[in-house]
Amino acid sequence: MNAVDRYTRTAILLHWAIAVMIFVNIVLGIGSGYVPDSWVRPMIDLHKSIGITVLGLVLVRLIWRLTHKPPAFPAGYRPWERRAAHGVHLALYGLILALPITGWIHDSAWSAAASHPLVLFWVIPWFRLGFITHLAPATKHDLHLWFGTIHTACSYALYALLALHIGGALKHQLIDRVPELQRMWR
């Protein structure tokens, strides 16, 4: 396979760093409901740290995407497959942005936010969203609940899209015998 068919080193690094962090965050988000009470706060704190990091990385990735042309799809892809892949990629960008943003709003509206500062990886003090922290307590209470629900709904949509994304890649790799994974691997 020649170099033109592959994503660049930067795109590959960003793709896998974001993928691993999203996987860990799903495990932490769901897992925090099934662990002893003393584990919940550290797990959620780590979840928030990783989520904010993902937000930064996905913004870098979007800049990369808008300034680089991705490698063309292999010639054998049918038109509907190209459209489906584009659609899933677009929706994944939307969700990977929506998840950290809704989580951050949910956290900024939290009634205990003031007594639980946001410190990324227990080292870097981070800010809550000022336009939310300044709202009236009753409004924040409602926002906290709403955005918790939206955050969870986004995670369900993400599972469906990841199934399509990974299923599509495996179908091309294993059934169509097209070197698909190599496009996103050195």
Q: Which residues contact 107 (CB under 8 A, 6 or more apart)?
A: 48, 113, 118, 128
d(CA 44, CA 29) in angstroms, rounded, equals 7
Stretch that binds ligand HEM, among 64-72, 75-83, 96-104, 167-175 (CB under 6 A): 96-104
Decide: is 44 part of the binding site for ligand HEM (CB under 6 A): yes
Neighbours of 172 (CB within 10 A): 21
| Residue located via tokens 């227990």 | 122
Decide: is 140 part of the binding site for ligand HEM (CB under 6 A): no
d(CA 123, CA 142) in angstroms, rounded, equals 30
Strand 124-125 to 119-120 pairing: antiparallel
- Which member of 148, 157, 162, 184 binds ligand HEM (CB under 6 A)? 148
Q: How many CA atoms does the CB half-sphere of 69 hold within 13 Å?
A: 5
Q: Which residues contact 130 (CB under 8 A, 6 or more apart)?
A: none
DSSP run (H or E) holding 119: strand 119-120
Stretch that binds ligand HEM, among 66-74, 77-85, 149-157, 175-183 (CB under 6 A): 149-157
- Residue 49 in contact with residue 121, Cβ under 8 Å? yes
Please identify, using beta-carbon distances, which residue of 29 and 178 lies nearer to ligand HEM: 29
Please identify, using beta-carbon distances, which residue of 12 and 17 lies nearer to ligand HEM: 17
Please identify, using beta-carbon distances, which residue of 3 and 112 lies nearer to ligand HEM: 112
Binding to ligand HEM, residues 5-34 (CB under 6 A) = 22, 25-26, 29-30
Q: Which residues contact 147 (CB under 8 A, 6 or more apart)?
A: 102, 103, 105, 106, 109
Measured from the CB of residue 174, what is the shortest distance to ligand HEM in angstroms?
27
Please identify, using beta-carbon distances, which residue of 6 and 103 lies nearer to ligand HEM: 103
Measured from the CB of residue 125, what is the shortest distance to ligand HEM in angstroms?
14
- Which member of 40, 84, 133, 152 binds ligand HEM (CB under 6 A)? 152
Residues near ligand HEM (CB under 6 A) = 22, 25-26, 29-30, 44, 47-48, 51-52, 54, 99-100, 103-104, 106-107, 148, 151-152, 155
